[in-house]
Structure 1
Amino acid sequence: MRLTPTRAALALLTAAALATPALMAAGPVAAADEPAPVTVVTNDFEDGTTQGWAPRGAAALAPSTTVAHGGSASLAVTARAATWQGPALDVLGRLALGTQYTISAWVRPADGAAADSARLSVERRSGGVASYDQVAGNTAVTAGGWTQLTGRYTPATEVDFFSLYVETAGATGSFFLDDVSISYVPARPVQTDIPAIRDVVTEFPVGAAITAAETVGAHGQLLARHFSSVTPGNALKWDATEPTENTFRFTDADPLIAYAKAHGMAVRGHTLLWHNQTPAWVFTDPAGAPMTATAADKELLLARLSNHIRTVAAHYGTDIGVWDVVNEVIDESQPDGLRRSPWYTITGLDYIRTAFRVAREAAPHAKLFINDYNTNVPAKRDALFNLVAELRAEGVPIDGVGHQMHINVDWPSVAETEAMIRTFQPLGVEQQITEMDVSIYRANDESFPAPPADRLLRQAAVYRDMVALFRRYAGDITSVTVWGLADDNTWLDTFPVTRKDAPLLFDTALQAKEAYWGVIGRSSPSASASPSASASPSASASPSASVSPSASASSGPGAGCSVSYRVTGTWPGGFQGEVTVTNTGRQALTGWSLGWSFADGQRITQAWNGTATQAGAAVTVANVSWNGAVPAGGTASFGFLGSWTGANSVPAAFTLNGQACG
């Protein structure tokens, strides 16, 4: 699913633990003797030439001694008329199929150039058809300093044109390039003395999202050994399959489907409709103007949608048994819970109705899914439930609900995830985990040079507990897919910020991580001690890696009560909080009302497990019907969303039923 907006994840407050095998803790493990890297390309421009780099588009290239990252020379890139124009290097015949390369380049904007983001990309052509791959994602660059662009890339298909290039995201200013290198470390053998995931988890297919790089060499061996299904991560999206109207291309997806067929693997088709990665022409009328909510534009847009789905689904026929027909149509911040994408603003709900009905006609054999992220969040979960219930009641052929499960080491809890599954049971639909990964990060401002051992253990506990939960609900969960094969190729390296993440089951050398052992429910060979209680996911932990660090405060015990107030997530203009009230008195409470004042102008915009009112700075949250009774020593919890500007301090004092609480 990728290139999505930042996710302001919500959290419930009740945790649950599963009776699963103990996960053993391991300290840092000494790295095995690794082969020395082999460098195949190096450019330092010290010889006064461009060293094979050529202009892409109208850009001009020239050796320069104005600035240098190393030595005394670099390559000056000027006269750029578009962001894609810049320096390009022909690497055809220099890189081997199935070998993973580390590519690095240093970039510095010219003095006076605007701040921008730069990235490393690859253009490859086969039979005259061009494809583009990102090596290093958007990385902030500013005048006056050098910035390294680095990423991994695995050539996966035979091509007749192969070029590495540098481009920018927003501006066309001049910049300098220096110290380019392409190297690889000889691959370590895929482990064959460990259980295959597909042989251990047998309740449902376990799959991985893939690119072509995952189908060749050691990656292909690892994929075939452990997984029984695949999801083309980007190759079936609209921009890849119909970049211009009625001109269809299947160059990227066909080899992935062929690999799956050759290895007896099922295929999940992702995705026929999404608001992202859809070419601009789809929403443009015949005169070139943006479409609006007119009858003519609606008719044209639905006709384009129908043509796209019929053509793509028919091309693959029975080779694809499950389709994510529509992706990410819920926005819980809207009164009706529906995302205000161009699809919706032009057609209302008819785009969803049309997509599923046409998909059923084009692929009558396939299971048809609606797919979304953060479906463990009550507001989003319930909006999706209501939509699916409404459409199924109309006869729209929705067979299943996909839960993406892009989560992190602290969020969500098992209890929240179980509530997600149970919510959709009354609809009688299949449920699938479609895009699971577990970020090691808790906040955007974290960045590790190497994954810390304690985070990897916590990650393993999350995988262990979540997969155990899915296996318990095997009557509802019919497939589980992780969003990637190994840590060497993950979208989380560039989202929500650029940093190296490690969210998958195998590391960058394709070796099994603690997370792998968590999934199969066994202790790893490197285990040495029992984990601390913190290794299990907890509902009181902070949300996904797209939010800021949690802040917490507790008042001391007072007249029969104590309060824990935590900021569990922060994003521009908004935050999420959770509050737990403990009855420290001797008498049970038959109802409660908690009060406090915000010091910085914060406003509560939504609450759950409590009824919130606010007058100026004063906030009151009262119990709801199911959590008003609090026995002596018991607790009641609620959560909320709020807005803030400038500061977001924790309230200094609380009252419970009018009396001071600590």
Structure 2
Amino acid sequence: MKMKNIRYLSGTGVAILVISVFSVACKVISPDTGELALKDAYKNKFYIGTALNERQIMGHDAAAIQVVKENFNAVVAENCMKSGMLQPVEGEFRFELADRFVEFGEQNNMHINGHTLIWHSQAPRWFFKDDQGNDVSREVLVQRMKDHIYTVVGRYKGRIHTWDVVNEAILDDGSWRKSKFYEIIGEDFVKLAFQFAHEADPGAKLMYNDFSMALPGKRKGVVAMVKKLQQQGVQIDGIGMQGHIGLQYPAIDEFEKSILAYSDLGVKVMITELDLSVLPSPWENTGADVSANFEYQQKMNPYAAGLPDSVDNVFQERYLDFFKLFLKHQEKIDRVTLWGVNDGQSWKNNWPIKGRTDYTLLFDRENRAKPVVKSIIQAAQQPHSDEKKKRKQSI
């Protein structure tokens, strides 16, 4: 009976039926690349993630949301889960946007990362002050940390898979950042934050996240900090290497050394906040300290009218080289997350100089996949060196 019905379908209907069956039985094809979508190409390697902004979380950016659903299987909130956004007034939590973010991830079967619990920047001012405007005592700040972490992590217990527990506690030279957390509590604030997060949700994976992680000094400092935490019995499951990179920095071999050094600690490595700036870096500023701010100069915004082919070619090669590095060490890496969906939404357009035009991500301002996306997908289809060795050994 079913065969008769199919025989008398119109030609268009048959075509639609065949295409539908093919896409379900075989593979998901991205209309932009003619290849596997990013998330499908990397399905058995590591998660491919992106950061969502408020408009996307609230469903007001349909084009970007479609890109996310087609290409990514992991999400992180760009801003709405930072302490200043969640608890602007002591004891008054604003969870609406964070709730929507988590729901989006769940509805689309995505790996959800919470960002970030303890960070000196974008923390509410009240966190460190008493009613008279003086610094609070160590005991008070520890209790405020505990209350915040217990409330936030507890709310999403069993729903958020990984947490960036502490963000940017180490300086580029490997020394401790003299943040208010450090000044009032001391370096134990990191240990306490991880302990509180684990107590609030024992099933969540807990991460330390920082920028400039390829620098030898920072590498040494982070490794020393994590080793000390491990010796104290603190659960730390992964290290996030923020991927705010440029055309000339960091050196890929130094980035690789850091992947190896962090992995040697027995934890997973996450490539977080990945974006590739093509713009000149003012006064050799290559970090990602959000407090950095430089005056606008026309010479520092050379591509406002469009990106020249010569620069675009370098951009494409640079992105591909990094993804080849990630593939080389795929067993050590759990997730690679882009810091935004398309170029127009990248924070690099306004940091560290406001009003510039940058081209940092894999999708352009019209949400079209850049040519490098196809190359990155194709790279994932090639067996890497470890797979080749295994094949030779099995012969």
Q: Same fold, TM exceeding 0.5? A: yes
- Residue 249 of structure 2 is aligned to residue 411 of structure 1: yes
1:413 is aligned with what amino acid?
A
Whether contact under 8 Å (1:206, 1:229) holds in the other structure is: yes
Q: Which residue of 2 aligns with 1:466?
A: 322
Give the one of 32, 45, 48 matched to 1:206: 48
* 1:193 positional shift: 4.1
* Aligned equivalents of 2:159, 2:364: Cα separation in 1: 30
Residues in 1 aligned to 2:240 and 2:325: alpha-carbon distance in whole angstroms: 16
1:375 equivalent in structure 2: 213
* Conservation of the 8 A alpha-carbon contact between 1:439 and 1:492: yes
Task: After TM superposition, list the pairs within 5 Å mapping 1:493-642 onto structure 2.
Answer: 493-498=349-354, 499-521=356-378
Counterpart position of 2:258: 420
The equivalent position to 2:341 in structure 1, one of 470, 485, 499, is 485
Residue 441 of structure 1, CA deviation:
1.4
Distance 1:256 1:454 in 2: 38
Alignment partner, residue 307 of structure 1: 147
**Structure 1: distance between partners of 2:105 and 2:310:** 36
**Bigger Cα Rg:** 1
Q: Please, which of 125, 129, 133 is the counterpart of residue 280 of structure 1?
A: 125
Q: Distance in 1 between matches of 2:33 and 2:264?
A: 42
1: CA distance between counterparts of 2:129 and 2:340? 34
Asked if the contact 1:410/1:442 (under 8 Å) is kept, the reply is no
The residue matched to 1:269 in structure 2 has which SS?
strand
Name the counterpart of 2:36. Answer: 195
* Distance of 1:266 and 1:439 partners within structure 2: 26
CA-to-partner distance for each residue in 1:461-491, whole Å, 9 max, x for gaps?
1111111111111121111101001112010
Highest RCO, 1 vs 2 (Cα 8 Å, sep ≥ 6): 2
Deviations 1:497-531 (A, max 9, x none): 12011100000000011332342236xxxxxxxxx
**Contact kept in structure 2, 1:506 and 1:512, CA below 8 Å:** yes
Equivalent-residue separation in structure 2 for 1:415 and 1:192 (angstroms)? 30
Aligned equivalents of 2:375, 2:346: Cα separation in 1: 20
Equivalent pair of 2:54/2:80 in contact (CA under 8 Å): no
User: What SS is found at the alignment partner of 1:222?
Assistant: helix
Q: 2:222 aligns with which of 356, 369, 384?
A: 384
Give 3-state SS (helix, strand or coil) of 1:427's partner.
coil
1:246-294 deviation digits (Å, cap 9, x = unpaired): 1111122111111111111111110001000001100002433233xxx
Contact 1:400–1:431 under 8 Å retained in 2: yes
Contact 1:208 / 1:481 at 8 angstroms: preserved in 2?
A: yes
Query: Given residue 349 of structure 2, which amino acid in structure 1 is its aligned partner?
Result: D
Aligned Cα root-mean-square deviation (Å):
1.6
8 Å CA contact 1:376–1:417 kept in 2: the answer is yes
Cα distance in 2 between the residues matched to 1:410 and 1:192: 28
Shift of 1:442: 3.0
The offset of 1:315, in angstroms, is 1.1
1:245 is matched by which residue type in structure 2? Answer: E
Aligned-pair CA distance for 1:190: 7.3
Q: Percent of aligned pairs with the same residue? A: 35
CA distance in 2, matches of 1:477, 1:236: 24
CA distance in 1 between counterparts of 2:276 and 2:156 reads: 31
How far apart, in 1, do the equivalents of 2:126 and 2:177 lie? Answer: 20
Q: Is the contact made by 1:239 and 1:277 (CA closer than 8 Å) also made in structure 2? A: yes
Give the equivalent residue in structure 2 for 1:454: 310
Name the CA shift for 1:416/1:192 in 2 (closer, same or farther; >3 Å).
closer
Whether contact under 8 Å (2:35, 2:377) holds in the other structure is no
Structure 1 residue 425: deviation in Å? 2.7
**Residue aligning to 1:331:** 171
Aligned-partner SS, 1:330? coil
Provide the TM-score with structure 2 as the length reference: 0.80
SS in 1 for 2:360: coil
More strand by share: 1
Task: Identify the residue that residue 220 of structure 1 maps to in structure 2.
Answer: 65
Q: For the structure 1 residues 418 and 192, does the alpha-carbon distance in structure 2 shift closer, same or farther, using more than 3 Å as the test? A: closer
Pairwise CA distance, 1:413:
2.4
How far apart, in 1, do the equivalents of 2:358 and 2:274 lie? 14
2:276 maps to amino acid: V
Query: How far did 1:214 drift?
Result: 2.9
Mapped contact 1:190–1:510 kept (Cα < 8 A): no
CA separation of 1:192/1:405 partners in 2, compared to 1, >3 Å: closer, same or farther? Answer: closer
Which residue number in structure 1 is paired with residue 79 of structure 2?
A: 234
**1:402 to 2:244 alignment:** no
Tell me, yes or no, if the aligned pair for 2:74 and 2:105 is still in contact at 8 Å: yes
Any idea what SS the aligned residue of 2:337 has? strand
Letter in 2 for 1:315: R
Q: Is this contact kept in 2: 1:434–1:480, CA < 8 A?
A: yes
The structural deviation recorded for 1:194 is: 4.5
* Aligned 1:157-168 pairs, distance under 5 A: none
How do 1:98-247 residues align onto structure 2 when only pairs under 5 Å count? 191=32, 193-202=34-43, 203-215=45-57, 216=59, 217-247=62-92
Report which of the two has the higher share of helix: 2
Look up the SS of the partner of 2:115 in the other structure. strand
Residue 332 of structure 1 deviates from its aligned partner by 3.5
Report SS of the residue matched to 2:280.
coil
* One-letter amino acid of the counterpart of residue 275, structure 2: D
Q: Is the 8 A contact 1:409 1:442 kept in 2?
A: no
8 Å contact kept, 1:400–1:430: yes
SS at match of 2:300: coil
CA distance, structure 1, for counterparts of residue 33 and residue 369 of structure 2: 11
Alignment partner for residue 107 of structure 2, among 259, 262, 269?
Answer: 262
Aligned partners of 1:432, 1:261: CA distance in 2, in Å? 21
User: d(CA) in 1 for partners of 2:224 and 2:254?
Assistant: 18
- Residue 310 of structure 1 aligns to a residue whose secondary structure is helix
SS in 2 for 1:209: strand
1:407 Cα offset (Å): 0.3
Separation of aligned partners in 2, 1:310 and 1:421: 31
1:432 aligns to 2:284 (yes or no): no
Residue identity opposite 1:349 in structure 2: E
User: Where does the alignment leave 5 or more consecutive residues of structure 1 unmatched?
Assistant: 1-188, 292-296, 523-662
User: What TM-score, normalized by structure 1, do the two folds share?
Assistant: 0.48
